[in-house]
Amino acid sequence: MKKLFPPLAALLLLSCSNPEKHASYDVVPLPNDVQLTSEAPFRLTTHTVVAYPEGNEVLEKDAAFLSEYIAQSMGGSATQPYTDPQKPEKAIVLAINPTIAHAEGYVLTVTPNRITIEGQTPAGVFYGIQTLRKSLPAVAQGADVLMPTAIIRDEPRFAYRGMMLDVCRHIFPLSFVKQYIDLLALHNMNTFHWHLSDDQGWRIEIKKYPRLTEVGAMRKHTVIGKNTGVYDNTPYGGFFTQEEAKEIVRYAAERHITVIPEIDMPGHMLAAMTAYPELGCTGGPYEVAGTWGIFDDVLCLGNPKTIEFLEGVMDEITEIFPSKLIHIGGDEAPRTRWKTCPKCQAFIKSHGLKADKHHTAEDRLQSYCMTTIENYLTTKGRRIIGWDEILEGDVAPDATVMSWRGMDGGIEAANLGHDVIMAPNTYCYFDYYQSLDVKNEPFGIGGYVPLEKVYSLEPVPASLPADKKKHILGAQANLWTEYIATPEHVEYMVLPRMAALSEVQWTQPEKKEYRSFAKRTMRLMELYQRDSLNYAKLIYNTLVEVKPDPVHKSVRVTMSNVDDAPIYYTLDGSEPTQSSAHYTEPILVNTNADLRVVTIRKNEKSKEATRHLLFNKATYHPIQLLTPPSQRYTFKGAPTLVDGITGEQSYTTGEWLGFINDDPVMVIDLGEPTEFCRVSTHALIDGSNWIMGCTGLTVAISNDNQTFTQVADKAFPAETEPRKTGIEHYDIDFDPATARYIKITVKATPALPKGHPSAGSRPFIFLDEVAVE
C-alpha cells in the first residue's frame, strides 16, 4: 500500500511551533572521532521517519528500534520505518557501506536535511543508532531536538564486549533477562554470558536428563546472610525451558548480541549430582546447595557415565545456543574426592596421568575432562571458554581463557598462545561493593570496586609482548548473585558501572579521561532515570584521594566531584558545613586527623566521605618485611604499613597487606635510638572471604639490626565467629624501651573456626597501619 507523507509546509509549521532542545554527542562510550560542522542543525521531530534499504530485514528491525528509541525520548508513537526509495526529504537513513573498514564500525553523518547511519554490517549500523539514541535528551516530550551537524566515525577497540549474569544462585524472570540484554545493547556490548548451572541450582532444561530440572532446579532452603547457618526454610528454584532459552537467543541476536551459555564442570555440580547421584565419587546422597562457597563434591571423572552425561548435555546446549564459544567453567574444583576415589585413581593410573613439580595427577584429571569436552565440541564446530583455573594442568589447545583471579592468568594464557577475555575480580566483579560505606549500601559479597576503578581497567597488560597482545579479545564484568535476589538489586549493582566498562571495551585508551566520562555518565543517568532503572548515584559523592607524601612526611589529600561543586571539610571529626574549610587545592596533613568531607549543592549535602589519618614514631620510617605478603595482596608493599593512612572496610583497596601461610614479621628502622612503650596495629576481619584477625603480638628491639631482645609479648583470643566482619585494633604496652630497630611479629589466626565452610584451613590476615608510640 502506498504511504502518504504530510505536506512539508505543514510539518515545518508544526515544528516551528514546538520548543527546542539540543542533542549532544558527548555520549558513553565516547566515539573515536566526532567532527562538528558549522551548518544549521537537523531538526528532529516526532514525525521524522527512519528509512532502510528495501529487502534488508535486519536493518528494518534496526530502523524499528531507532523509531522506538526516538519515541521514548520525544513522546508519541514510534513512526513506521520506510524503505529507502520511499523516504521523505528529512529522514534518518540506514545503509550498508562495505568501504567502512571495521565490521562493527559506523559513520553517522548529520546534515541540515538528513541523518545517515552507515555500517559495514548491520551491527555497525546498530551501534551508530545507539550513539544517536544517547545523544538525544532523555526527556524531550513536546519539543523538537536540534541535532548538531557532524560526521562521527567510530569503531570498537575490542571484538569481545561482555557482561555475565548468574541465574543459579538467584533466578530472574525471562522478562528481566531481556531487560538485562537491553542494557547491554544500550552500552554497545555484544556478548551475554549466561551462567546456567551451579551447586545452588540447574537452570536450563535438558530433555535427555529431565531430573536436572525436576530435582536439580530446586533447593529446599537458602542461607540468610553470609553463610550464617540460619536458613529461610523456603524452597527456591526454577529453570528456563529450551524454548525460553531460544527466545532469549533470538531477542539478543536482534540486538546484535551473542549469548554464550555456561555449564560449569567438573566442580560446581552439586545440583546435577543431586539429580543423578551416580555422577559423584561417593554416590551421594547429595543436596542442592542452600549455602554459598566451594564444595568438595565434584563430578567423578573415573566414571565413564560422567563424560557420557556431559556430552549429552552439550548435545542439547549446542542445539539451543548457536554461539561459536561455549563456556565450560573449570573453576574451583577441589581435588579432595578424586584423591580418595577408587574409580578416579584407577583412571589416573590406566591413563598414565603423572604428577610433576607444577601439577598433581588430579590436576591432570581435570585437564582430561576439559580436553575431552573441548574435542567433543570441536566436532560440532564449537570452541570452549574456561575460567583461568584451566591453566592448572594441560590446558586444552584451543581454549579461550577467562581471567578472573586478577590479570596474571590472562597474561600466562596469552603467552601460551591462547585467546583471553579479561574479567579480573578487582575491576570487573560487580557483586563487590561500589562504596566503602557498606552499611548504607545494598548487600554485596564484599570487596570494593568503585566506578573509577572499573574505568581504570586496561585489559592489555603493558608487560605482554607485542606479538601476544592480539590474544586479548576483550573484557567482561561478572555479576554473581549469591546476595542479589531481585531485578532492582541487579540494576543497582551494574549501573552505572556498566557504563565505565563499556568505555573500557569500546574507546581507545588515549581518549579516555575519567572526569570527562563522569560528566557524560551524568547525562546517561538521565536516561536511566527516565526508564525507572534503579541505578547507583554514588557518582555525585565527593571523591577523596589520600596518598602518602614521604618527602614532606605527610599525607596529601585531594578532593573532587564530577561537577566542581563546593567541597567543605574538617580535620577534627566535627560535621562539615558551609562554615568549614572550603577545599580549593590539595592539602598536606602531618598529624593525627579525623577527616570528614562533604559536597554541598544548593544547600543539599552529599554523603560524607571520612578518613582516619594516624601519625606516630614509625610513620614514614623504613620498614622491612621478613615475611612476604601474598603476591595477590602485596599492593604497594611494606611502606603501606607506615604511611599514615588507615585502611577502610575492604581488603581490595590497596591499603591493606594480605598474608597467608606464615605469621607476618617486620622490622622498622626509627633512624636513631628512640624511646617507646607501645605498639599497635589493625587487622581487617572478613570471615566470608577467609580473613581472620590477630592472636598475638611480640615486640623485640635492637640497635644493630642483628641481635634482638624481646621486650613484650601479648596474646589475643582467636576469633570464634566464622562470619565476623570489621576492623580490629590490637595493642601491646610495655615498660619504656629505647632502640633504633623494632621487630614486630603478628601472630595470625592458625585456622578458620568451627562453623566456617573451610574450618581448619589457614586464613589470611590483612594488616594496616603499625604504630609505635
Instruction: Show which residues are catalytic.
Output: 198, 268, 332
Measured between alpha carbons, how far is residue 746 from residues 25, 662, 664, 691, 702 in Å? 55, 10, 5, 14, 18
Distance (Å, whole) CA 723 – CA 226 = 7
- Is 622:553 a contact under the CB 8 Å cutoff? no
First to last CA, the chain: 89
**Residue 13 has which C-alpha cell?**
509549521
- Is 270:199 a contact under the CB 8 Å cutoff? yes
Q: Choose among 684, 685, 686, 695: nearest CA to 748.
A: 695
Backbone angles phi, psi at 405, to 5 degrees: -90, 65
Q: How many CA within 13 A on the CB side of residue 527?
A: 23
Distance (Å, whole) CA 424 – CA 478 = 9
**Residue 660 has which C-alpha cell?**
597467608
**Residue 746 has which C-alpha cell?**
603478628
Q: Which residues make Cβ contacts (< 8 Å) with residue 621, sequence separation at least 6?
A: 642, 668, 669, 670, 671
Distance (Å, whole) CA 749 – CA 265 = 33
**Residue 203 has which C-alpha cell?**
537452570
- Is 365:348 a contact under the CB 8 Å cutoff? yes
Distance (Å, whole) CA 710 – CA 741 = 12
Q: Which residues make Cβ contacts (< 8 Å) with residue 721, sequence separation at least 6?
A: 687, 753
Q: Choose among 566, 575, 565, 659: nearest CA to 610.
A: 575
Backbone angles phi, psi at 628, to 5 degrees: -70, 145
Bridge partners for 737 per DSSP? 676
Peptide bond into 285 cis (omega under 30): yes
Burial class (CB in 10 A: 0-12, 13-18, 19+), 737: middle
In terms of phi and psi (left: phi > 0; alpha: psi -120 to 50; beta: otherwise), the region of 532 is left
Distance (Å, whole) CA 171 – CA 485 = 8
Distance (Å, whole) CA 132 – CA 27 = 9
- Is 677:716 a contact under the CB 8 Å cutoff? no
Distance (Å, whole) CA 341 – CA 394 = 21
Q: Choose among 669, 670, 695, 671: nearest CA to 681.
A: 695
- Is 768:655 a contact under the CB 8 Å cutoff? yes
Pairing relation of β-strands 150-154 and 106-110?
Answer: antiparallel
**Residue 362 has which C-alpha cell?**
588430579
Coil, helix or strand at residue 448: strand
Bridge partners for 98 per DSSP? none
Distance (Å, whole) CA 93 – CA 575 = 57
* Residue 73 C-alpha from the chain's centroid: 30
The DSSP letter of residue 691 is: B
Distance (Å, whole) CA 76 – CA 78 = 7
Q: Which residues make Cβ contacts (< 8 Å) with residue 595, sequence separation at least 6?
A: 544, 557, 569, 570, 571, 589, 609, 610, 611, 612, 613
Measured between alpha carbons, how far is residue 556 from residues 561, 586, 587, 768, 773 in Å? 17, 7, 6, 18, 23
Q: Which residues make Cβ contacts (< 8 Å) with residue 661, sequence separation at least 6?
A: 762
